[in-house]
Chains A and B, each alone.
Chain A
Amino acid sequence: MSATTTRSKVFANLYKDSVSLMQLTAQLREREGVAQASCVMATPANLAQLKDADLAIDVSPSPSDLLVVVRGEPQACDDAIAAAEASLQSKKAASGGGEAARFNPNAKAAALWTAKVLTHTPLPRDAPEAGASRGSGEPPSWS
């Protein structure tokens, strides 16, 4: 193999199930001239794994971004990235994606409810004796 390079592409707010990503990774690795490839969500833990695998990138994506990284011959990497993009975009309708997904509704009532649910609600405890309630306060109304 001639000189190798690393290419990457970030897909903002794109979500795919793990099997789809593993399959895409496997397909990219099988391409001629590709030495290593990975398709993962760009979480810090996954970025650290990529670095360990000599797939470090020089951009700073967010955990809600999907990251494709390929190492190998320059032309093979470019082709692999293009193939990955085509595959992901063709299936984009099947998942979340796009800038709109970053929207924060800033709904006051919902925020207050969230605070109650996730911060102030005591953790339900296991009850060694049967019949203990695991409820979390007053039942809300949806009407």
Chain B
Amino acid sequence: MTPAAALPAHSARPAAARIASVTGRAARQARFAATVESIGHLVPPSPWSGRVHSVFARACNVACGELLLTIGTRALGDGPTTVLLAGNPGDLRGRFAEGERIDAREGRMRSARTELDLAAARVWRPAERGALVSDVPLEARLRELSVQLVARRAPQPNVLDREARDIAKALADACAVLDVAAARAQADRLIGWGEGLTPAGDDFIVGLLAGLDALARGDAFRLAFRDALATHVAASTQRTTPIAAHALRLAAAGAWSARIDRLLAAVCCSGDGERDAAAALDELLALGATSGADTACGLVAALHAWSHAPSFAEAA
């Protein structure tokens, strides 16, 4: 009798298989497990595979095709391509490594060290927008918002407060008169301009596209202008960082984070606008080092540009 034959039937497997089973189980046991709280509505349905692009304390970017998915803690907030973790997963730099593979299948996302359970996750998508407020309260809310934004930007100015200020204003002016050529030219100058992960110019354009989308009011000329600018921006994203490029492509397609969506709703739609807008602005300003403030600038610029209902003269 061979030693193997003396073993119980369930153990009579090749040694390599037994070892693989044990080590595989150990690897699974060693994985950090976390529950996903919410998934952005544009996260691809599984199965898919991606690679970790960059890791920060509270966010891990995963390249998946042309999309850049973000796994983050609750503090990051919902977004169209964001996977938010429940509870406190700790510093994500200890959970993921740049370049490692992530597989999503059968309700789970797995990397070498981490396994995320998607089973109980809710799908985040933008809330349905309420009816737009009329011009007068909209302008009052915008004035208040502008005052707050200027005050909040003062301690931490960047290129949008200096060299790029006139360019950003010229872009907003081009939006107001629906001058596509001028808008494209100014957008070209802003894309990729500024320090950091998402240059200030890109954040401004993301906010601007969101604001234009909110106040197009179904007007064919405004819609055509917004589409033309968005198409141009989406085609120019190779001129900025991969992270900013992803945000620009999403914004061009009409998708942005929950923070932006809430600020738009608070300013443009019925409700307790002033109080809601202040809270939503606080929430957006908390994003990144200056990204939230730069995005808010673009959003406010677009809302100012299109705060009046479209007129025949404007369209002409």
Contacts and interface: CB of A to CB of B under 8 A. Distances in A.
The prevalent SS among residues of A at the interface is loop
Contacts of A19: 156, 196, 289-290
B144 interface: no
Contacts of B42: 117, 136
Given A104-B63, A110-B67, A126 B213 contact: yes
A99 to B, nearest CB: 8
A17 B234 contact: no
A114 interface: yes
Nearest to B215: A126
* Contact count band on B: 35 or more
Interface size range on A against B: 35 or more
A126 to B, nearest CB: 6
A123 interface: yes
Interface stretch (B5-13, B26-34, B187-195): B187-195
A62 B309 CA distance: 42
B272 interface: no
Interface of B: 39, 41-57, 61, 63-67, 93, 98-100, 104, 106-107, 118-119, 121, 123, 125-126, 128-132, 156, 158, 163, 189-197, 199-201, 213-218, 223, 226-227, 230, 234, 238-243, 245, 249-250, 252-255, 270, 288-291
Given A18-B195, A95-B56, A105-B50, 15 more contacts: A18-B289, A18-B290, A45-B194, A63-B238, A63-B240, A100-B100, A101-B54, A110-B49, A110-B67, A113-B48, A114-B64, A117-B253, A123-B253, A125-B213, A142-B104
